[in-house]
Structure 1
Amino acid sequence: MTKKTKRPNVLVFFTDQQRWDTVGAHGNPLDLTPNFDMMAERGRFIRNSFTCQPVCGPARSVFQTGKYPTTTGCYRNDIPLPAGEKTLAHYFGEAGYETGYIGKWHLAGADPVPRGQQGGYDEWLAANILEFTSWPYQTDLFDREGERHRLPGYRVDALADAAIRHIDRARDNPFFLFLSFLEPHHQNQHDNYPAPVGYAERIARRITSYPSDLDTLGGTTKEHYHGYMGMVARLDEAFGRIIDALISRGELDNTIILFTSDHGCHFKTRNAEYKRSCHEASIRVPTLLAGPGLDGKGDITRAASLIDLPPTLLDAAGIEIPAAMEGRSLLRPTDRPEDEVFIQISESQVGRALRTGRWKYCVADPDADGWNDSASRRYVETHLYDLERDPAELDNLVAAPDYAEVRGELAKRLAARIIAAGEAPAEIAPAN
């Protein structure tokens, strides 16, 4: 048993490309996430949680800095965090925490990640683009000096084992550990979802239906969904092992836990790959908070953006929220509409979206380059969905005359959010 620290420990369990409806707490019938479901019931299940940028690098820049990608300049993949940009490691470190990072980073310019691009973390065992330095059963990570370490086991287990060793270390100060997995992201080189041996086959025999958007639109669902869910199952088992390690150290009740993902996965139903779109499958993620001051407080039902999670973590740990952070702590009243999330989309397009309790409204610049242009001064409407009537987003109302008034009101709200995010004012033109 370790001595209780004055401040709680903080652990982030961060998955990659995990859609919201993969967990039992959101109604998934396969019963593959008992540990997530247990902690969601124990702590604060964030029922309406969304990324604000559905692609790996930009989402990670948001989580580390609490700023929009257009603020830091990390609006697409392969743009390192600017030198001098403060991260969660700096804020927790200044509060007396020992900070550690394990897994995928995707905010540097090379592998191994140079010390100056490691985000200020004290301990480091990571790869910039883990999908290019590792395979399902061959996990190569680098320490803070750039030395390569090959870890045994399935990749999820390799990272979880490293995290358990980190948790088990004797220390005088509380820890802040950011554990960043690749799963259930696809293995890029083969465009597949390699679950642990035997998992995909077992789960395939249990699947009787797919989420409604995938069931209708198809994409690569029948080819990949069972492997994807096998990866989700192993992640949940790893989550349970992390919880067990905290229990064995006497630290579970002294540790704030955040489980979330960078974005979702639409299985090539909305574009030629898996994300980078405004749809629920791409932007909605499973999220929970648990630990001291959080357990037993009930679900958080207001809309939560990825940009709200950094200030929420600091707030939960009793650390002052920096004025530079652009999100709002979920533990405090908000000065923004409680059902509203603002989304920036890059690479596939230069797009912006607003998600409210009822509506999904999306715009894009048809003449912009999603790789080279971070923003636009003129957008055109591309999507409008009535989420109450059409939760699977199968009926695009963007050109329907009966919804012109709705689109006009949403255009005003979206234009205001673009300015609030620090971008230049932009015109929004009606759909052709």
Structure 2
Amino acid sequence: MKKQQSSKPNVIVFFTDQQRWDTTGVHGNPLDLTPNFDRVAQEGTHLYHSFTCQPVCAPARACFQTGKYATETGCFRNGIPLPAEEKTLADYFKENGYYTGYIGKWHLAAEEPVSEERQGGYDYWLAANGLEHTSEPYQTRVYNNKQEPVDLPGYRVDALTDAAIRFIEKEDKKAHPFFLFLSFLEPHHQNRTDDYPAPTGYSEKYTSRWTPPDLQALSGTAFQQLGGYYGMVKRLDEALGRLMDVLKSLQIEDNTIVLFTSDHGCHFKTRNKEYKRSCHESSVRIPTAVTGPGFVEGGRKKELVSLIDFAPTLLDAAGIDVPDELSGRSFLPLVTNKDIDWKNEVFIQISESQVGRAVRTQRWKYSVSNLSLHPAEHDKASVYQEEFLYDLEADPYELTNLIELKSHREVKERLRERLLDFIRKVEGETPEIRGAAEVESGQRKVLPEEISY
């Protein structure tokens, strides 16, 4: 007998940390790491071109929670707490009758444990601000609403998943719908050892296996760390499968929206001295799939979607009016094939490694930076210098920088204006962008129809 369900859908965010888009089977990874994600993508909606708007942990999380860019909330780097006056997803869902829960990594406070006023308005809290510092792979410590320590058994992915299952089972018995944000640390590195500790036996299965072309071509840490990283991804996908099984067992899968995504990617120290904080696809492109009411059989969507769009989409899908102050927009009309004018480009703000800005279109990636400013002290610049230009159709792993080629002058001019339009709209300023020195292009040539693609 089919269980009677609320008229409002439950909503779950399954949020990983530092996961590349090409760890998934639907993006060509041959190692069968993500059969559950692949199934969600194939049976639900797959956002094929999905990007973070800030490739570092805390700013990306602030963007997701508030629906605003990092410079709009002030959380442009790690270590800046989310202002208490900023409304979060929890606030919007609570105002519309939802019980809200947060489990896992927060990274939007300045203290550990996180005080009640810094918990983003969530009703239920079982989290740590810096989960990478409070826990080890098999020793997971989080804190409850009262800031009391709670030690969870098992591998960290499983420990948080078990907690989420207990939350779902308990809330399913109540009359109200729930919104759960489940935030993992994996496949982020363990900071104190700078490695990727997979579950016992998992790293060995994937060491010296398939390596993406950018990691093969560039000097970095992938050959040392990729096996553990893949092992973490595999366990995360198994956790997703367990979660989906619970929804099916409780007969609420048809009334529960599940969004799987990540805060940013991982370039394994090939682009700078860290794992992210760059304009490259390895830093900014993320795996995203969503299923449940409104998203079943949505298919593969190749329009460009930003993390800044996730908050308005979830609100829209839950029947909640999207506030005007949110910077992104709902991609639900793309899923329902409504005739809308979707702008196929995303704006990326870069901090901590540099004060940088980038625009990504269907074909091109254009990035500028100000390397004279301290990136931990400045959220924006009045002057930028052109730094990178990539033709993503010819060079999807961004191994050839075209920024100095005369043949691409018109492309740069077009992208410069598109980037400035974003900066004006989001930051309210019009900085100067200085062009790169130009060199002869050899046989390279850009056709007129390719310039604005």
Q: Same fold (TM over 0.5)?
A: yes
Task: Give 1:84-95 correspondences, 5 Å limit.
Answer: 84-95=85-96
Hey, what does 1:420 align to over in structure 2?
A: 425
Structure 1 residue matching 2:333: 3-state secondary structure? coil
Hey, what does 2:73 align to over in structure 1?
A: 72
Hey, what does 2:445 align to over in structure 1?
A: none
Q: Shift of residue 422 of structure 1?
A: 2.8
Hey, what does 2:226 align to over in structure 1?
A: 225
Q: Shift of residue 336 of structure 1?
A: 6.6
Hey, what does 1:286 align to over in structure 2?
A: 287
Query: Using the alignment, how far apart are the partners of 1:308 and 1:118 within structure 2?
Result: 22
Q: Shift of residue 3 of structure 1?
A: 3.8
What letter matches 1:362 in structure 2? Answer: S
Q: Shift of residue 187 of structure 1?
A: 0.2
Q: Shift of residue 139 of structure 1?
A: 0.2
Hey, what does 2:109 align to over in structure 1?
A: 108
Query: Using the alignment, how far apart are the partners of 1:29 and 1:242 within structure 2?
Result: 24
Task: Give 1:193-204 correspondences, 5 Å limit.
Answer: 193-204=196-207
Q: Shift of residue 367 of structure 1?
A: 1.5
Task: Give 1:7-406 correspondences, 5 Å limit.
Answer: 7-169=8-170, 170-204=173-207, 207=209, 209-332=210-333, 338-406=343-411
Query: Using the alignment, how far apart are the partners of 2:87 and 2:426 within structure 1?
Result: 18
What letter matches 2:64 in structure 1? Answer: F
| Residue 30 to residue 106, structure 1, CA distance change in 2 (3 Å) | same
What letter matches 1:93 in structure 2? Answer: K
Structure 1 residue matching 2:314: 3-state secondary structure? helix
User: Between Structure 1 and Structure 2, how many residues are aligned?
Assistant: 430
Structure 2 residue matching 1:63: 3-state secondary structure? helix
Deviation readout 1:319-347 (Å, 9 max, x if unpaired): 11011100011013697763201000000
What letter matches 2:178 in structure 1? Answer: F
Deviates more, 1:67-76 or 1:404-413: 404-413
Q: Shift of residue 171 of structure 1?
A: 1.4
What letter matches 1:412 in structure 2? Answer: E
Deviation readout 1:289-339 (Å, 9 max, x if unpaired): 100121012222210000000000111111110111000110136977632
What letter matches 1:70 in structure 2? Answer: T
Query: Using the alignment, how far apart are the partners of 1:336 and 1:224 within structure 2?
Result: 42
Query: Using the alignment, how far apart are the partners of 2:227 and 2:342 within structure 1?
Result: 37
Query: Which consecutive aligned stretches of 4+ in structure 1 deviate over 6 angstroms post-superposition?
Result: 333-336
What letter matches 1:204 in structure 2? Answer: T
Structure 1 residue matching 2:295: 3-state secondary structure? coil
| Aligned CA-pair RMSD | 1.2
CA contact (8 A) 1:344 1:353 kept: yes
Hey, what does 1:430 align to over in structure 2?
A: 435
Query: Using the alignment, how far apart are the partners of 1:343 and 1:60 within structure 2?
Result: 14
CA contact (8 A) 1:9 1:255 kept: yes
Deviation readout 1:335-369 (Å, 9 max, x if unpaired): 77632010000000000000111111000012111
Query: Using the alignment, how far apart are the partners of 1:14 and 1:218 within structure 2?
Result: 29
Structure 2 residue matching 1:177: 3-state secondary structure? strand
Query: Using the alignment, how far apart are the partners of 1:22 and 1:260 within structure 2?
Result: 12
What letter matches 2:239 in structure 1? Answer: A
Structure 2 residue matching 1:342: 3-state secondary structure? strand
| Residue 306 to residue 336, structure 1, CA distance change in 2 (3 Å) | farther
What letter matches 2:254 in structure 1? Answer: D
Query: Using the alignment, how far apart are the partners of 1:84 and 1:164 within structure 2?
Result: 31
What letter matches 2:182 in structure 1? Answer: L
Identity of aligned residues (%): 59
Q: Shift of residue 2 of structure 1?
A: 5.5
Deviates more, 1:413-422 or 1:176-185: 413-422
Query: Using the alignment, how far apart are the partners of 1:69 and 1:4 within structure 2?
Result: 37
What letter matches 2:393 in structure 1? Answer: E
Query: Using the alignment, how far apart are the partners of 2:341 and 2:225 within structure 1?
Result: 38
Q: Shift of residue 263 of structure 1?
A: 0.1
CA contact (8 A) 1:70 1:423 kept: no
TM-score scaled by structure 2?
0.93
CA contact (8 A) 1:19 1:286 kept: yes
Query: Using the alignment, how far apart are the partners of 1:176 and 1:146 within structure 2?
Result: 21
Structure 2 residue matching 1:46: 3-state secondary structure? strand
Structure 2 residue matching 1:303: 3-state secondary structure? strand
Q: Shift of residue 392 of structure 1?
A: 1.1
Query: Using the alignment, how far apart are the partners of 2:359 and 2:273 within structure 1?
Result: 23
Query: Using the alignment, how far apart are the partners of 2:341 and 2:297 within structure 1?
Result: 26
Gaps of 5+ in 2: 438-453
Structure 2 residue matching 1:59: 3-state secondary structure? helix
Q: Shift of residue 32 of structure 1?
A: 1.1
Gaps of 5+ in 1: none
What letter matches 2:71 in structure 1? Answer: T
